[in-house]
Amino acid sequence: MISEQQRKAIAEFFGTFSLVFAGTGAIVINDVSGGAITHVGIALTFGLIVLAMIYTLGDISGCHLNPAVTLAFFVAKRCDGKSVAPYIASQVAGALLASLTLKVMFPDHASLGATEPSGSPLQSCFMELILTLILMVVILSVSSGSKEKGMLAGVAVGAVIALEAMFAGPISGASMNPARSLAPALVSFRLEHLWIYLLAPCLGAFLAVAVFRWMALPDPPPVPHKKEVVS
C-alpha cells in the first residue's frame, strides 16, 4: 500500500522529470535540428509543461517541481517540515533521470541544456534572483484565495515561466529552479557557474515570501456566532 507521502514524492519525481526532459530537451533538439524549435519555442515549452503538470499533479503534491518553491512554501508555513527533504530529493532525482535520459539519446550534445550566464556571473545572479522572486509571488498568490483563482493557477504560473524564459533566457538561462540547473550541469560536467543557479533562486524565493506578506490582504476577522433567540 502506497502512503500519501510516497504518492507525493512520486508525483514530484514524475513532474520534475517531465519538466527537465521537455524543457532542456527542447534546448537540445533546437541545437541538433539547426534551430527548428527557436528561442520562443523553448520558452513556451517550459511554460506549457509546467502548466500541464500543475493540472495533472496539483491535487496530489501541490506540484512544486522546484526545491526553491518547496523551501519557500516551508518558510511561508504552507508546507510541512517533514515533506521538505522527500520533496527536494524527489525533484533532484527526477531531474537527474531526465538529464541522463537525454544524455543517452543525444550523447554528443555538450551541455544538455545546462544554464550558463552569457555575461557576468553577478548579472545572471541578480537576474535569477529577480525572476524567481516574481515567479514565487505569483505562485503564492494563485495557490491561495478563491476557488476561481486556483482554477487558473496553472495558466498564471505557466505564463510567467514562459514570459521570463522568453526575455531573460538569453542572459541567464532563466532557470529559477535549482533542480533544473543541477541535473544537466552534473551530467555534462559544467559546474563552474552552478552556484548561481543554486543560490539565486532560493534567495529570490525567500524574498518573495516577505514581499507577498507585505502586499497580501489580511485575513478577514471571524464572523461572530449569533445565538438564536427563542421566543
CA dist., res. 9 & res. 30, Å (int) = 31
153, 42 contact by CB (below 8 A): no
CA dist., res. 70 & res. 63, Å (int) = 9
**pTM listed for this prediction:** 0.91
- Sorted by where each starts, the structural domains of the chain and their CATH numbers stand as 4-215 (1.20.1080.10)
Span 72-127, pLDDT tens digits: 999 999 989 999 999 999 999 999 999 999 999 999 999 999 999 999 999 999 99
The torsion defined by the Cα of 43, 68, 135 and 15, in degrees rounded to 10, comes to 50
Nearest C-alpha neighbor of 41 from the set 49, 102, 55, 177: 49
Cell for 217?
490582504
Intra-chain end-to-end CA distance of the chain, in Å: 56
Give the chain's residues under pLDDT 50: 228-231
The torsion defined by the Cα of 166, 169, 171 and 174, in degrees rounded to 10, comes to 120
pLDDT of 230: 46
Long-range contact list for 30-35, CB < 8 A, 24+ apart?
31/109, 32/106, 32/109
pLDDT of 226: 52
pLDDT of 147: 56
